[in-house]
């Protein structure tokens, strides 16, 4: 996910389509469904590919064992990939929206219990191991809707600026980019 520019991931497209129909999906449920879709697709795809390859190479064990091994590898890879994506999103949110992340952490958890003391910067806290990273990921997933709203407002402000630009100024701007 390219959080800085408000990009949308492939798995988030399904929830966006569902929300366009008027159905509101909570952010936690959306993230769980993204994980299930991500891991399910990877598991089945690598499992089937491994099973097919085993029949191509005429392995004596048949396609079932290679399918299971491939599915295991696919699921493991999907879990690692999903974790890295979510961790990177949390780190990006900590960098771009530190007050929002601190508020999300304080509203979700007892800050003393998770080791986030007043005056300790989030970047320093999150480097303290897997626990702080997990809490940061959880908080980042909780503020997805708020960050999306901030991006929509920023995009609308940019659109308003373009609407206010004089036609002659717009032509000069286009020529500047063409040269």
Output the CA torsion sign for 39, 40, 43, 48: negative
pLDDT given for residue 67 in this prediction:
94
In this prediction the pTM is: 0.72
pLDDT at 11 over 60: no
Instruction: Express each pLDDT in 105-123 by its tens digit.
Output: 888 887 766 777 777 888 8
Higher pLDDT, 153 or 173: 153
CB neighbours of residue 79 within 10 Å: 15
Q: What confidence category does residue 15 fall into, taking pLDDT thresholds of 50, 70 and 90?
A: low
What's the rounded Cα separation, in Å, for the pair 5 and 86? 16
Among 129, 130, 139, residue whose Cα is nearest residue 94: 139
Among 143, 131, 129, residue whose Cα is nearest residue 90: 143
Share of the chain above pLDDT 90, in %: 41
Alpha carbon of 116 to those of 77, 86, 129: distances in Å? 31, 20, 13
Instruction: Express each pLDDT in 54-63 by its tens digit.
Output: 888 877 888 8
pLDDT given for residue 143 in this prediction:
92
pLDDT given for residue 147 in this prediction:
92
Q: Please, are residues 124 and 91 in contact by the beta-carbon 8 Å criterion? A: no
Q: Three-state SS string across 43-57, please? A: HHHHHHHHHHHHHHC
Q: Which of 1-5, 37-41, 166-170 has the weakest average pLDDT? A: 1-5
DSSP 115-150: T--TT--HHHHHTT-HHHHHHHHHHHHHTHHHHHHH
């Amino acid at each position: 996910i390219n959080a800085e520019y408000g990009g949308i991931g492939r798995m988030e497209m399904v929830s966006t389509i569902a929300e366009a129909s008027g159905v509101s999906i909570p952010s936690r449920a959306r993230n769980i469904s993204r994980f299930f879709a991500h891991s399910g697709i990877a598991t089945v795809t690598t499992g089937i590919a491994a099973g097919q390859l085993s029949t191509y190479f005429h392995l004596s064990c048949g396609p079932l064992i290679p399918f299971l091994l491939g599915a295991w590898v696919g699921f493991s890879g999907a879990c690692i990939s999903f974790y890295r994506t979510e961790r990177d999103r949390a780190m990006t949110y900590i960098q771009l929206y530190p007050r929002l992340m601190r508020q999300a952490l304080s509203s979700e958890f007892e800050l003393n219990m998770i080791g986030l003391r007043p005056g300790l910067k989030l970047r320093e806290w999150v480097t303290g191991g897997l626990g702080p990273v997990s809490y940061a990921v959880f908080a980042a997933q909780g503020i997805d809707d708020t960050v999306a709203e901030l991006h929509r407002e920023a995009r609308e402000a940019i659109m308003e600026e373009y609407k206010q630009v004089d036609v002659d100024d717009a032509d000069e701007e286009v020529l500047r980019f063409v040269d």
